[in-house]
């Protein structure tokens, strides 16, 4: 019987970063889906039910804070761990993400091992 792989949604408008994250996460055994826009993210969350979301703040159609707020206020998605993965590294940015319900905040550039450790921990904490 095949073991279920955890599904991770990566949302970023930088294609190079999407490809890098896909390679890192798939190499660690995760199933990865990607989105370049906030509206696509929200549709994919409903359709694919990811186990975790890596979310950039700066997206072309809506910002990550808006997406995070919608996810955390929806009964069907509030339980999904969300990690902000962003170049915004100022205190107010981090504070805003915390207020919206982010589960973790990682600034770019990042170490792949740090991402994998955080993803593993959050999935374990959420029972996935």
Q: pLDDT by residue (tens digit) across 20-79?
A: 999 999 999 999 999 999 999 999 999 999 999 999 999 999 999 999 999 999 999 999
CB of 76 closer than 8 Å to CB of 49: no
- With 50 as the cut, is the pLDDT of residue 118 above it? yes
The reported pLDDT for the residue numbered 21 is 95
pTM of this prediction? 0.93
* Spatial separation of the C-alpha atoms in residues 115 and 17, rounded to whole Å: 13
Average pLDDT in the 79-88 region?
Answer: 89
Strand order in the sheet with 7-11: 31-35, 7-11, 52-55, 82-86, 104-107
The reported pLDDT for the residue numbered 3 is 60
- With 70 as the cut, is the pLDDT of residue 106 above it? yes
* Spatial separation of the C-alpha atoms in residues 64 and 82, rounded to whole Å: 10
How many CB atoms neighbour CB 87 within 10 A? 12
The reported pLDDT for the residue numbered 121 is 95
The reported pLDDT for the residue numbered 1 is 46
Average pLDDT in the 15-20 region?
Answer: 94
Determine the topology of domain 7-123 in CATH.
Rossmann fold (3.40.50)
- With 80 as the cut, is the pLDDT of residue 2 above it? no
Average pLDDT over the chain reads: 91
Residues 6+ apart with CB under 8 A from 124: none
Domain ranges of the chain: 7-123
* Spatial separation of the C-alpha atoms in residues 39 and 36, rounded to whole Å: 9
The reported pLDDT for the residue numbered 93 is 81
The reported pLDDT for the residue numbered 54 is 97
């Amino acid at each position: 019987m095949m073991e279920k792989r955890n599904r991770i949604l990566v949302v970023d408008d930088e294609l190079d970063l999407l490809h890098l994250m896909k390679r890192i996460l798939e190499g660690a055994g995760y199933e990865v889906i990607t989105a370049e826009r906030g509206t696509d993210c929200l549709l994919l969350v409903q359709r694919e039910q990811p186990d975790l979301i890596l979310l950039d703040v700066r997206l072309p159609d809506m910002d990550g804070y808006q997406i995070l707020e919608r996810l955390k206020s929806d009964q069907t998605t509030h339980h999904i761990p969300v990690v902000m993965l962003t170049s915004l590294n100022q205190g107010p940015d981090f504070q805003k993400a915390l207020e919206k319900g982010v589960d973790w905040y990682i600034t770019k550039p990042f170490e792949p091992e740090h991402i994998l450790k955080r993803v593993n921990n959050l999935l374990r904490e959420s029972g996935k």
